[in-house]
Amino acid sequence: MGGQVLLIEDEPNIIEAIKFILSREGWHVHTHSNGEDAAEVVRRRAPDVLILDVMLPGRSGYDILRELREDAAMAALPVLMLTARGQSRDREMAERAGASRFMTKPFSNAEVLDAVRTLSGA
C-alpha cells in the first residue's frame, strides 16, 4: 500500500495523529499548516490524496479547494475535508467546493484510514 498524502492542517495534535496513522500503514505523509500558499504546495507536491482542513490561517480550505478544482491538473485530486463544525451547511459548502469526502473532528483513526484508502483506490 502507500502513496503520497498531503495534509494541510494547523493543529499540531491532529497533524501528529494523522501522520502516525497513515505512516504506520505505509503512506508517505507531507504536512503544511498555512492556508495562504496551500494551493501552491499542493501543485508542487502533487499528492495522491489531499487532506484539507476547513479553518486555516490565511485562507479557508473551501477557497483553496475551489482554486484547485479550477485547475485542470488538480480537478480530479481526491480531497478529504476536515472540520470541527459538522453542520449540514458546512457539508454542503464542502460539496460545492468540490470535496470528495467530508469528515468532522473528532474522528476515529479507522475513519481516516478508511477514507484515505477509499479515495486513493487502494
What would the pLDDT profile of 7-16 be if each residue is shown by its tens digit? 999 999 999 9
The domain locations on the chain are: 3-108
pLDDT for the residue 2:
78
pLDDT tens readout for residues 33-50: 999 999 999 999 999 999
The alpha-carbon radius of gyration of the chain (Å, integer) is: 13
* CATH level 3 topology of 3-108: Rossmann fold (3.40.50)
* Overall pTM surpassing 0.75 (yes/no): yes
Residue carrying the nine cell digits 475535508 = 81
pLDDT band for 1, please (50, 70, 90 cuts).
low
In the chain, the percentage of residues whose pLDDT exceeds 90 is 89
Cell output for 95:
460539496
| Helix axes of 61-69 and 38-45: crossing angle, nearest 10 degrees | 50
